[in-house]
Amino acid sequence: MEAIVGTYECKVDAKGRLMIPAPLKKQLSGALQDGFVLKRSVFQPCLELYPMSEWNAMMQKINKLNRFVKKNNDFIRRFTAGVKMVEIDNLGRLLIAKDLVSFASIDKDVVLSSAVNIVEIWDKDLYEKSLDNSEIDFADLAEDVMGNVNDGDNGIS
């Protein structure tokens, strides 16, 4: 799957249904038939929407872990906690289970944000706070993470 692009603001109704914005739905069109997996994020108070092909690739990595190592078993249990198979219905809606709505503190306004090959689903206020985090200097973070990567001939990392 190609990288997903964009950040979209939308609303969740009282039943936990979220209308997927048309530009995002178009990007996900190849995955609509296979479905998606929705799960808690490991590092942030948000949800992660995996197209099934991306979820299967992740599960192949996780399946290589030795289940007789307690740390691995604990990780697998926590990583898959609350995982739900979901579909986008014919009207373009995604139903978010109540336990996941609660985990991500989703109220009404949400942000769908691309994260390369998955989509993060955030409560809008929490998303804004995560971006405004003054403890993180993005320039330093970018240098630490990407500063030593140069795998192309075009001079771009």
Q: Is 49 domain-assigned?
A: yes
Kindly state whether residue 54 falls inside one of the protein's structural domains. yes
Instruction: Give the range of the structural domain holding residue 58, as residue numbers without chain letter.
Output: 7-146
30: closest CA among 58, 47, 54? 54
Percent of the chain with pLDDT over 90: 76
Residue 109 near residue 124 (C-beta atoms within 8 A): yes
CATH number of the domain bearing residue 47: 3.40.1550.20
pLDDT of residue 12: 96
* Any domain includes 66: yes
Is 46 inside any structural domain?
yes
Number of independent structural domains in the chain: 1
* Predicted TM-score (pTM) of this structure: 0.87
DSSP state of 4: P
pLDDT at 157: 47
pLDDT of 46 above 90: yes
Which tens digits make up the pLDDT trace of 110-155? 999 999 999 999 999 999 999 887 666 777 777 777 777 666 655 5
pLDDT tens by residue, 94-119 = 999 999 999 999 999 999 999 999 99
Q: In the numeric block, which tokens belong to residue 60?
A: 């192949």
Residue 157 lies in a domain: no
Kindly state whether residue 85 falls inside one of the protein's structural domains.
Answer: yes
